[in-house]
Structures are given as C-alpha cells and as structure tokens.
Structure 1
C-alpha cells in the first residue's frame, strides 16, 4: 500500500502540471476510515478538488462533511441493487435504508453523488430487477443523484465467471471485446441475454424520461460518451 507521503508527492506534481481535479479510482479507499481522513487532510492542504468511490456502510454525516470541506466534489456508491433480497444474496451487508441515508448525508453536505446499479445477475427475477429500476428512478428524482445502470458482466476471474455452471449461467462468448455493461453476454436460469438487453434499454429510456430537461441534456452527453467508449456511434436527439 502506498504511503500518504508518496501519494502527496504525486498530487503536488500533478498540480504543478496544471491538473485541476483528481479522481481516486480505488474502490477500497473507504475500507480504512483513518486513511481516508488522512487523504482528506492531504487534499485540503494541497488545495485540489477531487472525487472518489465509497462504501455505503462507511459513510456517516461527519465523514460527508469532512469530505466536502476537504475539496471533494463528489463520490460514487456501488449500490448494485434496489432489492433487499438481492443485496442480501450478494453479501453486500447493507440495507436500502442505509443507501438512502448515505445519499442524503452527501447531498446535504454539498457533494455530487453517483450510484451504480446492475440488472441481470444470476439470481435476478423480474420483480428484483423491477425493484432495482424503481430504486434507480427514486435516487434520480428524489435525491438528484446521478445513476449508472449496467448489465451484469461475468468478467474472467470474477465469482460469476468462476461459478457459471453452479449458478446456471451460460456465457455466450469468450471474445472479451464484447464484454460490456451495455451488452449482456450471459443467459441466466430466469432470462436470456436478449431479454436482459431489452429490459436494460427500456429502463434507460424510462430513467431518461423521468429527468427534467436540464438533467436530460447532461444524461444524453454522459450516455453518448459511455456508448462511444464501448465502440458505438450513436445519435441522441435533444429533448424537447
């Protein structure tokens, strides 16, 4: 693990080179709260805006305020599902109420919040996916959180890939160029990949329509950028 001093040296160097904002792409950054607080202090002293990922169960009201005061402008929660049943099966050890409380604390502190969720897990039913989509819409409308909805991908080395047979998963390709969060490549015992794909794009359309015009324009740009990164070229008309 890198020392705080080593991280500080790199951030100072990036600031000298004109970097204005920094994202910590480390999904374990909140595993050690004392280390996260040290990074907050570091960022505050250096004076650079930043963002990070965070576990829902690590968030507190005090931590949200400390993050905001340190120059943190936003963070992402790996919510994964809006179904308590699914969260329990995944071993997330969090509740829907905890997720909402964490988002409330962050929004109140002035942080921008992104919540990532997914559909098409081996255990998903139509009801659990509906609960996830409903929850995604609630996070958007009620809390003004940004939502990233993805299809489950059995990347090599992950639990779903290693236990595909036991879980009743049929992975359609070994061409890893096709492994994408917007392109389902596995059939589950409840759904084909085509059914998951159709539900995914129906859900994206629903989430888009639930946004105000202002946020639709932002959503459109984010979606276009995401699709183009996946190798697609799309034409998304401006909302009326």
Structure 2
C-alpha cells in the first residue's frame, strides 16, 4: 500500500543535489551543494513525531539516497527505537545507496520514488541525466526484490528533440518496469537552469523580461513537439500502459486503485 494520509507528516533531512540535470533548479537554489542533517538529529525529530502519534513520514529531500552510511544509521536507529512509521523518500536510480534497500525495507520504507524521466537513452542524454536504462531497471528491480512496498517513477515528456515515438517508448518502458505507480509530466523551463540559459542563448527567452514566467518547452521551443501532439501521445501512452498492467498484473493493479480510493477518502 502507499503511505497512509492518516497522521501523515513530512521531514526534510537534507537540501540540494550535486547533479546537473538541465531542467532542474535545485542545484541553482542550493548552490550546487548537498547539505544534510546528522542521523541523530533526524532520529530525534522522528522520536518527537512518534510520541505525537504520527504513523507515516515522507522525507522531502531532493535526493535522500545520496549517502549510504547516513541512510544506514537512520534505518538502524528506526529499527532500534522500534518506530512503527511507514516512510517514503525519493532519489536517483544510480545512487550509491541501492545496496541499502534491504535495511530500508526492514525499517518500514514503504514508498520509493525514482527520477526515471525517459524510456530512451537519447532523451536521457539530452537531459544530462547521466544514467542508463539498465540502471533504471536494476534500481526498480532491487527495490521490489527487497520488499519496498511501492516503487514510483517520475517521467518527463515534451523534451527537446523528443519524437512522438520516443514518448510512446517511455510509456512502454514504464509498463515493463516493476513500478507500482508513475507520473508523466510536461517538461518546463525554470529560470536559472541550464535549459533556461540555453533558451536565452538561442533567443527563445529574454532573461530580464521573462524571469517570472514558467514555460512549457512545447510552447516555446521549435525542437519540441507541439502541445497538441504531446498530449495526444500521453493519452495513447496511458492506454498502452494501463492495458499492459491490467493484462500482466491485474490483481496488483486493482489493489492499488482500491488503496488510492481509500486514501483519497481519508484526505477529504
């Protein structure tokens, strides 16, 4: 099951990310550094939440999986203190902490979100993700093999030089992965990102005039498919994805839909 929204709380244990994906504004906001709280400090906050009766925690870190030793100490502390939280986090698929999935599962990590972004190496390279399709498959497989309840995949569509066939391939790739949930979002240009600067250099955006705007790349970049085509491909892709899931994993799919419905009722 996904994290319960009943007695749910978030914690930020670190800030920033050292990677340089072209669309992400986190390195700019955090000066390209990764700053983190000590395991003892994190566990102290968790103890307070435990004493207050919280049952679910989501770590809102930009990249929780960056340091294996810190993760190990946090998980060991959760087990030692006998916290009963279900908790979740997110991170890259090529993280050094993949070998920590067993202890994460043992300490009740029940939701793990990966920045997959695309199902073709061409698009991954264009976005400067510095990860491979094999790394994506391995991370998701390892998470599920070691008992992480829900593996989620973040995807981007409407990227520069991406074709309609590339978008559909991302959906087919998602269907073959052992992901439990997934989200396909339109790529946007954020001020301060390498992608924004590329658009300034190409004369697509005026840095001083357009600083307050949030652009969907498909609305401004001639190398990106038009919005109408991107949305059409997304609709086709979801049909492909859900058809595959219902055929190959019907019981899990219906259980997941039931869980979402139950949690939506809890949040109202």
Q: TM-score, normalised by structure 2?
A: 0.69
| 1:133 and 2:174 aligned | no
| 1:199 and 2:236 aligned | no
Matches within 5 A, 1:163-178: 163-166=198-201
Select the residue among 89, 111, 115 that pairs with 1:52.
89
| 1:11 and 2:46 aligned | yes
The alignment partner of 2:225 has SS state of coil
The 3 A distance-change label for structure 1 pair 184 and 191 is closer
Q: What does the per-residue CA deviation read over 1:21-48, in whole Å, with 9 as the maximum and x for residues that have no partner?
A: 1111112221222112222122223322
The 3 A distance-change label for structure 1 pair 95 and 42 is same
Is contact 1:187-1:193 (8 Å) kept? Answer: no
Between the aligned partners of 2:202 and 2:232, the Cα distance in structure 1 is 22
Matches within 5 A, 1:6-45: 6-45=41-80
Is contact 2:158-2:224 (8 Å) kept? Answer: no
| 1:92 and 2:129 aligned | yes
Between the aligned partners of 1:169 and 1:202, the Cα distance in structure 2 is 30
The 3 A distance-change label for structure 1 pair 96 and 39 is same
The 3 A distance-change label for structure 1 pair 69 and 169 is farther
Larger RCO, structure (CA 8 Å, separation 6 or more): 2
How many equivalent residue pairs? 218
Q: Which has the higher helix share?
A: 1
What is the Cα deviation at residue 80 of structure 1? Answer: 0.7
The 3 A distance-change label for structure 1 pair 144 and 90 is closer
Structure 1 gaps of 5+ residues are 227-240
Is contact 2:152-2:182 (8 Å) kept? Answer: yes
Between the aligned partners of 2:237 and 2:171, the Cα distance in structure 1 is 7
Residue 107 of structure 1 aligns with which residue? 144
The 3 A distance-change label for structure 1 pair 197 and 175 is farther
Matches within 5 A, 1:161-240: 161-166=196-201, 185-212=219-246, 214=251, 215=253, 218-219=256-257
What is the root-mean-square deviation of aligned Cα atoms in Å? 3.3
Structure 2 gaps of 5+ residues are 1-35
Is contact 2:168-2:236 (8 Å) kept? Answer: no
Between the aligned partners of 1:168 and 1:194, the Cα distance in structure 2 is 24
Residue 147 of structure 1 aligns with which residue? 182
Is contact 1:168-1:189 (8 Å) kept? Answer: no
Q: Which moved more, 1:102-111 or 1:195-204?
A: 195-204
Select the residue among 71, 78, 84 that pairs with 2:115.
78
Between the aligned partners of 1:197 and 1:186, the Cα distance in structure 2 is 16
